[in-house]
Structure 1
């Protein structure tokens, strides 16, 4: 996926050499990714498909950076005191956080089916879910009803997923619905903890969420030094799990 994002895309032969797999395997994988809307196949190769304001399908993101997301989730779990109330955003890193919180004495407003299911794997967490429309790919609740439920919930800690984050724009989201949910989350929590892998930095999406100084803590991995500097200057406490 990274290779096909480069100008001109990537050729099948180059991808086979880079991954040590056969041409047939590469063609099969490209066909699968094309069906998911990640890329578009060309004669002898493929080019990136998603434009600004879109994101990769949930299933594709779920299998990416698993070890990093688990390390982030473990660190976030240590920041959440027993007995507290939590708003847990949607996204693959937040799903990993849900798995790390399973069995704890917590009240969690889970904003996706994935997170709610992970929290329910063993007894302990009191799980609350909003109503409203479910996004077909993310299985996350969206719309005015979900926003109202978030606004009526008072959380000690909000765990916020990240679509894109850069110094000029702050946090941005790939859809208007997601931006509205994230704004409601931030307004309803005493402490905001953003969770993401480092690939979300240095880019912006279409819809504004908040300036960087609204976030209390960032839990991430392999963050570039320049990004660390401007985040710290904005007042964000950065916990880099690979530092």
Structure 2
């Protein structure tokens, strides 16, 4: 049983992630502490941006993220998503404006960017915007207005696309629901397909973040192809599908293997140069 507050809170966070949500009474019973201490633990984790407090308990930030109903893979391959996010965070310089797509991989990216100063995060995802507001004191956030999709915590539709059209972020990170070697990047919701298509063409540089489980996954609406991105960041390409798809194009495949025993979402060490992004090829 963890005895010190820091160790106990780490165990509490694991409990929240495993169960999606917890009640104060459950934390108190599980760790043999008072309800006052359990509330304090949850409050501390919420201040650190690691969970969301609710009346009487807390919920996992990653598990409150919602994506298309067709995507049953949310919270699957979490280590892969953290590895992808850590690698992608190296593509961002201090002071940049960063367009981040909805979903768990987008949230992991924002977490990995937590130590990068002076960012402006542009997003249609309310969970990502809330995380920036709570946990990134040097960052600004721009929320793309529009129709809120019921139960999904993101905006989409013509108003959201119109809001994006007046912006020119330094870099965009787009996260597909699926990838088809024949059709390209896919998602399961028409309104989100329109928005993701706009994301691909909104910035100076565009990167696609996609774990390998997305290859061959279900997606109804196509929103782009491999040549719409500077690079595709994945944790692995086990069957060489993406390697084959980017062959003879200017799009790069960047692999970010999952390192066993290493905490996910940590930005690799290295001095930021402050350079401005180069133009699209």
Is the TM value for this pair above 0.5?
A: yes
**Alignment RMSD (CA, Å):** 2.0
May I ask how many residue pairs the two structures share in their alignment?
Answer: 189
Deviation of 1:203 (Å): 4.0
**Aligned mates of 1:128, 1:229 — CA distance in 2:** 35
CA contact (8 A) 2:243 2:253 kept: no
Runs of 4+ in 1 over 3 A off after TM superposition: none
Bigger relative contact order, structure 1 or 2 (CA pairs below 8 A, ≥6 apart): 2
**Aligned mates of 1:67, 1:172 — CA distance in 2:** 22
1:80-109 CA-partner distances (Å, limit 9, x unpaired): 111111111101111111111224321111
- Unpaired segments of 5 or more residues in structure 2? 1-18, 20-67, 259-281
User: Which range moves more in the overlay, 141-150 or 128-137?
Assistant: 128-137
| Alignment partner of 1:226 is 2:240 | yes
- Unpaired segments of 5 or more residues in structure 1? 1-28, 30-52
Q: Equivalent of 1:81, from 87, 93, 109? A: 93
**Aligned mates of 2:243, 2:201 — CA distance in 1:** 26
**Aligned mates of 2:179, 2:162 — CA distance in 1:** 25
C-alpha distance 171-222 of structure 1, shift in aligned 2 (>3 A): same
Return the TM-score normalized by structure 2. Answer: 0.62
Return the TM-score normalized by structure 1. Answer: 0.72
Structure-2 residue corresponding to 1:190 = 204
| Alignment partner of 1:117 is 2:127 | no
Structure-2 residue corresponding to 1:10 = none
Q: 1:90 is paired with a residue of what secondary structure?
A: coil
CA contact (8 A) 1:169 1:204 kept: no
Structure-2 residue corresponding to 1:170 = 184
Deviation of 1:122 (Å): 2.8
